[in-house]
Amino acid sequence: MEKVIDFTKNPVTEIYGMHCFSDAIMRERLPKNYYRVLKDVQAGKAELTAEVADVVAMAMKDWAIEKGATHFTHWFQPLTGLTAEKHDSFISPTKDGRVIMEFSGKELIKGEPDASSFPSGGLRSTFEARGYTAWDVTSPAFLKEDTTGVTLYIPTAFISFTGEALDKKVPLLRSMEAVSRQALRVLKKLGNETATHVFATVGPEQEYFLVDREYFDRRMDLMLAGRTLFGSAPAKGQELEDQYFGTIKDRAAAFMRELNYELWKLGVSAKTQHNEVAPNQFEIAPIFDVANVAADRNQLVMETMQKVAGRHQLAALLHEKPFAGVNGSGKHNNWSLATDDGINLLEPGASPHENAQFLLFLCAVLKAVDVYAGLLRVSTANTGNDHRLGANEAPPAVISVFLGEQLEEILSCLTAGKPVKNAQGQKLELGVNALPKLPKDLTDRNRTSPFAFTGNKFEFRMVSSAQSIAEPITMLNAVVAETLSEIADQLEKSKDLNKTISDIVCSTYQKHKRVIFNGNNYAPDWPAEAEKRGLPNLPSCVEALPELLKKENVALLEKHKVYSHVELESRYEVALERYSKDINIEAQLMISMTSRDILPAAVDYARELSLTIAEMKKAAAKSSTAGLESVLASIAEAVDQLLSCKASLEKELAAAPKAGDAAAQAKAFREKVVPAMVCLREPADALERLVSKKHWPWPTYEDLLFRL
Ligand code: ADP
Ligand code: MG
């Protein structure tokens, strides 16, 4: 291991944020009046002028150069789901053959990367070909470290010249504005005169697997597809429940320590870590941030994790389902709304007044999740998550809300006009002026719900481990903006505020209680019950994607200026194409791994067996070779099946349309190619159980899941 971190020599309080152009650094380095203007710009209260941009750019450059930077980059999030960057140096040659180091306000606020090779779903052909990146003033710039130095990274949004979003950040920022606008309308009616902005706050819990790098490098499927395409189930899986919160192995602990170290330097508040349910599965969670910052930082967590894993001769797997038969990985998005004067709007309050507020925002979420379940579902739809949602070890593809019995009881009593009692059995008065002091701890825990209330926030658990959190949070903000706007409409028209609030709470509960489910979402009878309740179940990505273009969904997203119709069409195209490409890669890989690795291994071992049988017969004519012959026969049979399944997969792959209608193509991959892949895996895994380990071409599930 190259790096030993000694926190006694590098106290956390000193290293924390050393690579982040944080608020503290800006306050220290910017002239006071410019710092104040910049704060106003961040708060949306002032425009960014060229002069301010120049001053900030200069301070940023000086800081970066002092830390050893020679280059800067605009850092953005195209529709690949990853981040993108193009580096420029600060150098500016002088006439006499020297250089000075320069960085202007113009370079800080706008970049023009050649964007023609990013997925755009036809957007750029319809419109102007070029795109530009624009500085996201609200997300701190940072220094990324490699083995020889650092580079200045500036978080940006990526936009076409005609204003269409080409990335994941622009819609997120728009959705944050939308939900803020509507939340403020509601707050105003509740008498809040001080809040000027409402922020969506997000704390993403990131799950991942660690495997030994040597094993990873020997598995082409892990390297190219991020998941095992073959692999016989190990004798031991997660059934002993001995991994979750178990003792963290030394090697994982060392990795985590260095990961935290790197993240803390970046100002990413890595806070909790533990063993997850599956063997060699782990979780890391930061302290929550404002949504766009949380999204940027989650990308950094994912990137840093992979980098640090490499230093420990490990590979960090972010795929949603790297291994069949054990838990997949998700990314629980803890989400809430907070005012700029510090109130968490999903916090049950101490006073009746705060409780009216809490109940209204709770109702807004409840309604949004019920009415726009499709949009939330599609925001988590991708090839990897198809293996997770609705499978055995993951939340189902049906969206329901967990409120906990206590909270549901309160809503149900309010609605029925029945007295509400607290945990001590005391009757609580109703009406807004005398709304009950809600019990402080309203949380029972439910680990199976895709959307759970956890005391003062919701936890959206359907989100997949590898995806950017921008999309799910964008949709969540957007749908809640809509229901808040409906509530605001009612409050603004109201003649009797208290009565209107009561009416809203009661009618919301009555109309949308079907989406509340406090039971076990993994139970086999839940999907049937959900169907009876009329809740949508969109089991796969291909089935979920059309939600993006449903009339009512487009109308909502356009109304709140989160996505335009063309942007949605382009995203629909990009997602479908991506799905087909992903499956195509996996299918090709399975074919090549079958021909080049599995078949030769089976053939070698079969030959060894045949020779042994022949030699045994020759050496002692009476020796029984029946057992070995039956093993040989089983291998021959599995090989036959393997070859026939491989032929079917090749046939389906050849038949799948390669261009043209993206929906038809994705449908063919989903309905024809995927089943053929499942079919091929069976004889391959059977062979793994028959062929000697010495002959098997790659590390098995036992190696991958238990050796660390
Ligand atoms: P658990 O495993 O019990 O769900 P964790 O501590 O792993 O809890 O994760 C909880 C996450 O929720 C953390 O990232 C935390 O910062 C975040 N969180 C707490 N309060 C809020 C809030 N008001 N808004 C958004 N996220 C929050
Ligand atoms: Mg959690």
In this structure, the answer to whether residues 192 and 154 fall within a common structural domain is no
Any domain includes 418: yes
pLDDT at residue 432 tops 50? no
In this structure, the answer to whether residues 68 and 215 fall within a common structural domain is no
Q: Confirm or reject: Cβ of 205 under 6 Å from ligand 1.
A: yes
Instruction: Say how many Å lie between the CA of residue 581 and the centre of ligand 1.
Output: 35
Q: Confirm or reject: Cβ of 202 under 6 Å from ligand 1.
A: yes
In this structure, the answer to whether residues 85 and 184 fall within a common structural domain is no
Mention every residue, 6+ apart, whose C-beta is less than 8 A from residue 496: none
The pLDDT value given to residue 430: 44
Instruction: Say how many Å lie between the CA of residue 200 and the centre of ligand 1.
Output: 13
Query: Which among 179, 202, 205, 273 is the best mutation to test ligand 1's pocket, defined by most ligand atoms within 8 Å of the CB?
Result: 205
The pLDDT value given to residue 563: 98
Last-in-domain residue among 536, 563, 590: 563
In this structure, the answer to whether residues 118 and 190 fall within a common structural domain is no
The pLDDT value given to residue 442: 58
Any domain includes 2: no
Any domain includes 569: no
Rg (C-alpha) for the chain, rounded Å, is 28
Weakest mean pLDDT among 25-29, 39-43, 408-412: 408-412
Token output for 336 = 């809430």
Any domain includes 232: no
% of the chain at pLDDT higher than 90: 78
Specify the ligand 1 atom closest to the Cα of 338: 23
- Per-residue pLDDT, averaged over 367-389, amounts to 96
In this structure, the answer to whether residues 433 and 508 fall within a common structural domain is yes
Q: Confirm or reject: Cβ of 285 under 6 Å from ligand 1.
A: yes
Instruction: Say how many Å lie between the CA of residue 201 and the centre of ligand 1.
Output: 10
In this structure, the answer to whether residues 318 and 425 fall within a common structural domain is yes
Query: Which among 273, 288, 290, 469 is the best mutation to test ligand 1's pocket, defined by most ligand atoms within 8 Å of the CB?
Result: 288
The pLDDT value given to residue 522: 86
pTM surpassing 0.85? yes
Q: What is the pLDDT of residues 524-557, one digit of tens each?
A: 889 899 999 999 999 999 999 999 999 999 999 9
Q: What is the pLDDT of residues 506-523, one digit of tens each?
A: 999 999 999 999 988 888
Any domain includes 461: yes
Specify the ligand 1 atom closest to the Cα of 336: 24
The pLDDT value given to residue 127: 47
Domain with residue 77: its CATH number is 3.10.20.70
- Per-residue pLDDT, averaged over 107-123, amounts to 79
Weakest mean pLDDT among 185-199, 250-264, 341-355: 341-355
Q: Confirm or reject: Cβ of 273 under 6 Å from ligand 1.
A: no
In this structure, the answer to whether residues 246 and 346 fall within a common structural domain is yes
Give CA separation, 58 vs 31, 103, 187, 445, in Å: 11, 6, 40, 50
Any domain includes 571: no
Instruction: Say how many Å lie between the CA of residue 291 and the centre of ligand 1.
Output: 13
Q: Confirm or reject: Cβ of 456 under 6 Å from ligand 1.
A: yes
Q: What is the pLDDT of residues 153-191, one digit of tens each?
A: 999 999 988 889 999 999 999 999 999 999 999 999 999
Which residues form the domain of 300?
176-224+239-563
Q: Confirm or reject: Cβ of 286 under 6 Å from ligand 1.
A: yes
The rounded distance, in Å, linking the Cα atoms of 563 and 470 is 13
The pLDDT value given to residue 441: 59
Tell me the pLDDT of the chain averaged across its residues: 92
Mention every residue, 6+ apart, whose C-beta is less than 8 A from residue 580: 656, 662, 665, 666, 669
The pLDDT value given to residue 304: 97
Last-in-domain residue among 563, 592, 612: 563
Q: Which ligand is nearest to the CA of 273?
A: 1
% of the chain at pLDDT higher than 70: 94
In this structure, the answer to whether residues 657 and 686 fall within a common structural domain is yes
Q: What is the pLDDT of residues 612-659, one digit of tens each?
A: 999 999 998 788 899 999 999 999 999 999 999 999 999 999 999 988
Q: Confirm or reject: Cβ of 334 under 6 Å from ligand 1.
A: yes
Specify the ligand 1 atom closest to the Cα of 335: 25
The pLDDT value given to residue 434: 41
The rounded distance, in Å, linking the Cα atoms of 594 and 240 is 33
Q: Confirm or reject: Cβ of 269 under 6 Å from ligand 1.
A: no
In this structure, the answer to whether residues 361 and 463 fall within a common structural domain is yes
Domain with residue 640: its CATH number is 1.20.120.1560
pLDDT at residue 433 tops 60? no
The rounded distance, in Å, linking the Cα atoms of 214 and 707 is 11
Last-in-domain residue among 147, 167, 187: 167
The type of residue at 192 is N
Q: Give 72-129 as a DSSP string.
A: EEEEE-BTTSS-EEEEEE-EEE-TTS-EEE---HHHHHEE----TTS--TTHHHHS-S
Q: What is the pLDDT of residues 28-72, one digit of tens each?
A: 999 999 999 999 999 989 999 999 999 999 999 999 999 999 999
The pLDDT value given to residue 114: 72
In this structure, the answer to whether residues 157 and 197 fall within a common structural domain is no
Any domain includes 345: yes
Q: Nearest-CA neighbor of 517 among 507, 527, 503?
A: 527
Instruction: Say how many Å lie between the CA of residue 373 and the centre of ligand 1.
Output: 23
In this structure, the answer to whether residues 182 and 253 fall within a common structural domain is yes
Q: What is the pLDDT of residues 657-700, one digit of tens each?
A: 988 899 999 999 999 999 999 999 999 999 999 999 999 999 99
What residue has token string 């356009």? 558
Any domain includes 231: no
Specify the ligand 1 atom closest to the Cα of 288: 16
In this structure, the answer to whether residues 188 and 153 fall within a common structural domain is no
Q: What is the pLDDT of residues 204-218, one digit of tens each?
A: 999 999 999 999 999
Structure confidence at residue 429 as a pLDDT band (50, 70, 90): very low
Structural domain count of the chain: 3
Query: Which among 245, 274, 277, 334 is the best mutation to test ligand 1's pocket, defined by most ligand atoms within 8 Å of the CB?
Result: 334
pLDDT at residue 1 tops 50? no
Instruction: Say how many Å lie between the CA of residue 202 and the centre of ligand 1.
Output: 8
Domain with residue 438: its CATH number is 3.30.590.10
Specify the ligand 1 atom closest to the Cα of 344: 23
